[in-house]
Structure 1
């Protein structure tokens, strides 16, 4: 039986008051505008822990929810991209998507592809192409997932996810902690 965890939007509302303990990164999607290190986001409780699945098999695919973005700033932001920064050997990132919590009936932290309770991500609207707005001092209704494939033995954890966002005319990147421990079954 898979380990499956889910948070509802209500249980994550406390993250609005959480302090942002994020390390900053930098990249530029638009070469004419170098991204600056951002501080507007918090990943809340999700960034504080590590989700895990110790029974994976080579070839198995998973959906890993990155931290639910909380805008700690006084201005709205538009999230335009997110990515796992440190996928270890044994994990291939197949792609990314951004989905509404209402469609997925909560935040599925790590779910195997094809299991009965795994959200049907391919059937839902994907907000990653156009980006989405997170209002000032609010928790997002939309979250990013990384679609992962196990390719072999995994000895390290995923620990960093980078978000790119716009606030006014400025482009920012910010790295949040995102713990995932995925291991092959013994």
Structure 2
């Protein structure tokens, strides 16, 4: 696989809307410790139906991969407070998470290899505002303009895909965790 970039605000907004729809509707049952399993978000975009990722991956490579775009399918606003990957196989190490806006960047950046030489048209997310660490609100029925990106390093042989994008959010004073469908492949030669 290769890194893919979608450009254009119209296309980015459409993808963002799709990502939010895939997250689900409303709020659901308790998961323990006072945190409920949420259903207000729906994941949309390319990462929700297949695997995004890279081929010819080598130990030491650093990649960034975008979480799905998210839509609030409920009737109340949600405030996203955090994101994380749930299933990180041996050989991959998370270096951090960022949150970017399609309003700031030239579209929804699906992913790229940091350790590769830039090519014409490449977008370096470090040149744009990073909203990580700051909650952001998604209005009812709206696809968020913000999307999370994981930064990770290949530390050894990766034999399984990275799966499970979790969003933490609050809604009407309650805290929720919701797992979104996502899959990232790091295919080694």
Would the TM-score normalized by the shorter structure come out above 0.5?
A: yes
Alpha-carbon spacing, 1:143–1:83, altered in 2? closer, same or farther (3 Å): same
Rounded to whole Å, the distance in 2 between the matches of 1:92 and 1:13 is 27
Does residue 3 (structure 1) correspond to residue 3 (structure 2)? The answer is yes
| TM-score, normalised by the number of residues in structure 1 | 0.85
Alpha-carbon spacing, 1:27–1:94, altered in 2? closer, same or farther (3 Å): farther
Q: Residue 31 of structure 1 corresponds to which residue in structure 2? A: none
| TM-score, normalised by the number of residues in structure 2 | 0.84
Rounded to whole Å, the distance in 2 between the matches of 1:64 and 1:164 is 19
Rounded to whole Å, the distance in 2 between the matches of 1:78 and 1:170 is 10
User: Does the CA contact (< 8 Å) of 1:16 and 1:137 recur in 2?
Assistant: no
Does residue 40 (structure 1) correspond to residue 43 (structure 2)? The answer is no
Where 1:43 maps in the other structure, the secondary structure is: strand
Deviations along 1:18-51, one digit per CA (max 9) or x if unpaired, are 46469x99476xxxxx211100011123322211
Comparing 138-147 and 3-12, the one that deviates more? 3-12
Alpha-carbon spacing, 1:78–1:106, altered in 2? closer, same or farther (3 Å): same
Can you give the 5+ residue segments of structure 1 that lack an aligned partner in the other structure? 29-33
Deviations along 1:115-135, one digit per CA (max 9) or x if unpaired, are 344432223222121111111
Question: Which runs of structure 2 are paired with 1:166-185 in the superposition (5 Å)?
Answer: 166-184=170-188
Rounded to whole Å, the distance in 2 between the matches of 1:113 and 1:91 is 15
Equivalent residues, number? 180
Dislocated runs of 4+, deviation >4 Å: 16-22, 24-28
User: Does the CA contact (< 8 Å) of 2:19 and 2:69 recur in 1?
Assistant: no
User: Does the CA contact (< 8 Å) of 2:18 and 2:69 recur in 1?
Assistant: no
Rounded to whole Å, the distance in 1 between the matches of 2:144 and 2:50 is 19
User: Does the CA contact (< 8 Å) of 2:3 and 2:110 recur in 1?
Assistant: no
Comparing 6-15 and 83-92, the one that deviates more? 6-15
User: Does the CA contact (< 8 Å) of 1:25 and 1:162 recur in 2?
Assistant: no
1:104 CA displacement: 2.4
Deviations along 1:28-84, one digit per CA (max 9) or x if unpaired, are 6xxxxx211100011123322211211222111111101111111111111000001
Question: Which runs of structure 2 are paired with 1:150-169 in the superposition (5 Å)?
Answer: 150-169=154-173
- Give the alignment's Cα RMSD to 1 decimal: 2.7
Can you give the 5+ residue segments of structure 2 that lack an aligned partner in the other structure? none
